[in-house]
Structure 1
Amino acid sequence: MAAAPTRQRRKDARPQELLDAALALFVEKGFSATRSEEVAARAGVAKGTLYRYYPSKEELFKAMVRENLSVHIAESAAQAAQYEGPIAPLLAEMMRAWWAKVGQGNAGVVCTLMMIEARHFPELARFYVDEVISPSQNLLGDLIGRGIEAGEFRAVPIEATVHMLIAPLMHMMLHEHSFGAQDMCNHSMSPLELLEAQMSLLLHGLLAQPG
């Protein structure tokens, strides 16, 4: 009787164990070259067990995106919806939070994998656009629009400004999970220092001039 709770804990942990095994293999071999049975073996379960939780490799990848990316976007959107005050400090804080939660670590690996594999898996690419890219751009666009409407920011093209916010982060993320992972570039500047410089330059260009 005492073994039942242990078995239940093991069962409850399996989805996460499968996601962890899939991520490790996707990093090692890429999405295309990884087979479902390899994921099951890495997680120490039968292939049938994998399919019970994730019917296909594509569904496994979608679950990774939802766990590592979608949840953070939803949290940021909820924070922005409840926020009252100047937009500039909130925008800067959200960029820092994005790097801390998404740009580095597992979430950044998932982003990098999607950029590599998007052209080969259009259905997954469409899912990623709907689940990650569009919500992120909408969130930042709404914040910039609120700043313009309040007179805090000057009138700027919102879509172009969103891309200017995102592009340096994507560059840092790609470096973090490519050359940076191999310690090939000896940069004394940290990603956060670069992010602070970006926000300083961008926000001073956004702020309305007195008078």
Structure 2
Amino acid sequence: MSAPSTTAASESAEASAHRRERRKEARPGELLDAALDLFVEKGFAATRAEEVAARAGVSKGTLFLYFPSKEELFKAVVRENLARVVHESAGELDSFEGPSDALLLHFLQQWWARYGATKASGISKLIISEASNFPELAVFFRDEVVEPGTALLRRVLERGIARGEFRPVPIDTTVHLILAPLLFLVLWKHSLGPCCDALARIEPEAYIAQHAELLLRGLRADAAPGTPDSPAPPEPKTP
């Protein structure tokens, strides 16, 4: 049997090198996917770096080549799965030309499609349950996700008011009222939801639609702001 030619051996070596390079380029994404799975399944404190590495099929040393600590790995997961979605949504706001009620409805629907319906929505439960034990991560989450997200909703409300499509409302309070049912939905999904029988289950799309209907009815420019017995609350003053 003749030995492989020099050309064939060279091509084989080059192909192997290309596969290794592709594998190297894929590793950060594979590590982030593995980390997201484990953070959602076990929480931040209970997840060990070696578990993430094993699930991604690499060594612990390889993990730390890309992410120097578990905290930095978590931050990368948040940036990839949450902060990126907020950034993309801000770009959509800049280019949206329709009425503000359609814009707000679009954002509510997209929030579920891009975040609530994904495994990444479990990060919200993780932050709430572990924030007091890891305040640095809580501050990071606030800076990267909460504040940009609330700023985005503020812009939508301010746009609608400026265009005469929404009635004047307390902006900060209204933002919280928009977000609270959404937060409840993901907490339900990752806690009581899987344990409830069919009668108690929540259909997310119907839930979002009903939330949007009630919200937009209250925001309409021709909606009554309140009655003498129940006036609209003033915007809280910053101390």
Per the TM superposition, whether the score is higher than 0.5 is: yes
The answer to whether the Cα contact below 8 Å between 1:153 and 1:207 also exists between their aligned partners in 2 is: yes
TM-score normalised by the chain length of structure 1: 0.94
CA distance in 2, matches of 1:65, 1:107: 8
User: What is the TM-score normalised by the length of structure 2?
Assistant: 0.83
Match of 2:145 among 132, 141, 156: 132
Q: Report whether the alignment pairs 1:16 with 2:11.
A: no
Matches of 1:27 and 1:126 in 2, distance apart? 19
* Counterpart in the other structure of 2:104: 91
SS in 2 for 1:156: coil
Structure 2, unpaired ranges of 5+: 1-12, 224-239
Counterpart of 1:30? Answer: 43
CA, structure 1 residues 184+4, in 2 after alignment: closer, same or farther (shift >3 Å)? farther
Counterpart of 1:109, as a letter, is G
Q: Name which of 162, 180, 183 aligns with 1:170.
A: 183
> Which amino acid is the alignment partner of residue 25 of structure 2?
D
Shift of 1:181: 3.2
Q: Residues 199-210 of structure 1 correspond to what in structure 2 (within 5 A)? A: 199-209=212-222
Give RMSD over aligned pairs. 1.6
* Equivalent AA in structure 1 for residue 69 of structure 2: S
Q: Deviations over 1:36-58 (max 9, x none)?
A: 12222222211111111000000
**How many pairs were matched up?**
210
Give the % identical residues.
52
Which residue of 79, 88, 100 maps to 1:66? 79
| Correspondence for 2:228 | none
Which of 22, 42, 50 lines up with 2:63 in the alignment?
50
- Structure 1 stretches of 4+ with a deviation exceeding 6 A read none
What is the SS of the residue equivalent to 1:120? coil
Determine whether 1:7 maps to 2:20.
yes
**Structure 1 portions without partners, runs of 5+:** none
